[in-house]
Amino acid sequence: MRVLFSAPKSDWNDYRDVLTNALERAGIKAEIVYAIMPDDPGSIDYIIYAPSSEMEDFTPFTGAKAVLNLWAGVEGLVTNASLTQPLARMVDPGLTEGMVEWCTAHTLRHHLGTDRDVCRQNDSWDFYVPKLARDRSVTVLGMGTLGRAVGTSLAALNFQVTGWSRTLKDVAGVACLAGEEGLAKALTSAEILILLLPLTKATENVINAERLQLLPKGAVLINPGRGPLINDDDLIAALASGQLSHATLDVFREEPLPEGHVFWANEKITVTPHVASATRASSAVDVLVENIRRGEAGQPFLHLVDRSQGY
C-alpha cells in the first residue's frame, strides 16, 4: 500500500514519525510518500492532504480510494472538479477539545468583563458585580461536532445556550433551533454569539447588517469558524454604532490578516491568529489511520463530505 502525504514541509515534520508509528500500531504496512506529485501517482492508495499543499490536480491518482483532509474545513476542496475520490474531513478529538477551550475562554472573558480589570488605565477602584452564567444567553450557530461540543460545555457552566443549525438537532442542555425563523429567534437572544458554521454558498455573509440588528444591543460576536461568514463592512458599522460592543475574531477573509487592515486598529476588535481550531498530529493520526483501516476492510469511511452541501 502507498500513502501520499501532500502538505507543506512543516506538516510533514509534525506527522512523519507519529503517522508511521500509528500505522505500525494498527498493523498496517504502508509506504508513506512525501511529495507534491509522486512518481507513478496511479499506485497511490490514499492521499493525506492539506489544502495548503501545492498539489491541486487529483486526476492522476486513478487508484486512490480516498482523500483524507488534514483540516476540518473543506470549502477549498469541494469545488475542485478533479477531486472525484471520496473526501473525508478531519474530525480530531484534540481539535474539538482545543475549540471548546478557546471558545470557553473568550466567552468567559466577555461574560465576566475581565478586560475592564486587566486593561484598566488607572488605579481607580471600579467595583461591579457581573452576571452569573445562568443569566447570560449564548447562541452557537452551527451544531456540527465543534458546535455541539462548545454548546454542551457552556451549558455545563450554566449559560443559557441556544444552538442553531440548518437541520434541527437534539443536543443535551442546548435549546436547538433550525430554519430561517429559528435563526432570527436564535440571534434575538444572543448576548454572546459564537460562529461555528461551515463556509458554503448558503452561509457566506450570513452575519450581515440585517442580522446584526437582531442581536441585543451591545452583544459580543466571537468567530472561530470562517472569516467570510461575516460581512466585514457591516461588522465595522455595528461596532461603531454600539449595536455590537466587541468582536473577537480568529478567522479572516485573507490570512494572515494583512498589515494595515482596519481590524488591527479597532479597539473593539480582538484579533487572534487562527489558533482556535488547530489540528494536533498526536490525535489526528488516529483518525487518518482508522479511515485507512476502514478502506482496506471495505467499511464506510468516517466523516465523509457531502459535496452537495459543501461539508
Active site residues: 226, 274
Q: Does residue 220 contact residue 247 with C-beta atoms inside 8 Å?
A: yes
Which residues are CB-neighbours of 76 under 8 A, at least 6 positions away?
A: 51
Asked whether the beta carbons of 126 and 311 are under 8 A apart, the reply is no
- 147-to-115, 162, 210, 270 alpha-carbon distances in Å: 26, 11, 23, 21
- Cα–Cα distance, 193 to 224 (Å, whole number): 11
Beta strands in 133-191 (DSSP E): 137-141, 160-165, 175-178
Contact 5, 48 (CB under 8 A): yes
Burial class, 228, CB count within 10 angstroms (exposed 0-12 / middle 13-18 / buried 19+)? middle
